[in-house]
Amino acid sequence: GAVVSQHPSRVICKSGTSVKIECRSLDFQATTMFWYRQFPKKSLMLMATSNEGSKATYEQGVEKDKFLINHASLTLSTLTVTSAHPEDSSFYICSALGTDTQYFGPGTRLTVL
């Protein structure tokens, strides 16, 4: 149980375009989901907390207009990277909160050319 999926697993896009990443909890409902960013050889950095039916809470330094988060249902949260630039290239990981533990998706590798 407690499986979280992400789609796509890899995406390559041109600079200036937008990319949407989906995060789904497959076998449980998650009121709260989280989005993290992982740089090479670095730890995961929390970007934002997504609560179903309300606005996301962003960590300091994360541009909310660039990283749009929508959590429209108890099993789906989306992260849209708007007007992507090469510096947005990274590994994006979501997690869904179960009873008291976060379950992580496999991640999405974004490359912006």
Label each residue of the chain as H, E or C. Answer: CCCEEEECCEEEECCCCCEEEEEEECCCCCCEEEEEEECCCCCEEEEEEEECCCCCEECCCCCCCCEEEEEEECCEEEEEECCCCHHHCEEEEEEEECCCCEEECCCEEEEEC
Q: Given the complex with another protein, which of 18 and 63 has the nearer CB atom? A: 63
* 41 scored as a contact of another protein (CB under 8 A): yes
Binding residues among 19-38 for another protein as defined by CB under 8 A: 32, 34, 36
With CB under 8 A, what is the number of residues at the site for another protein?
24
Answer yes or no whether residue 49 interacts with another protein by CB under 8 A. Answer: yes
Ramachandran region of residue 86, left (φ > 0), alpha (ψ -120 to 50) or beta?
alpha
Applying CB under 8 A, does 43 fall inside the site for another protein?
A: yes
Binding region for another protein (CB under 8 A) out of 11-19, 61-69, 75-83, 100-108 = 100-108
Among 26, 46, 72, 113, binds another protein (CB under 8 A): 46
Residues near another protein (CB under 8 A) are 4, 6, 32, 34, 36, 41-46, 49, 59, 93, 95, 97, 100-107
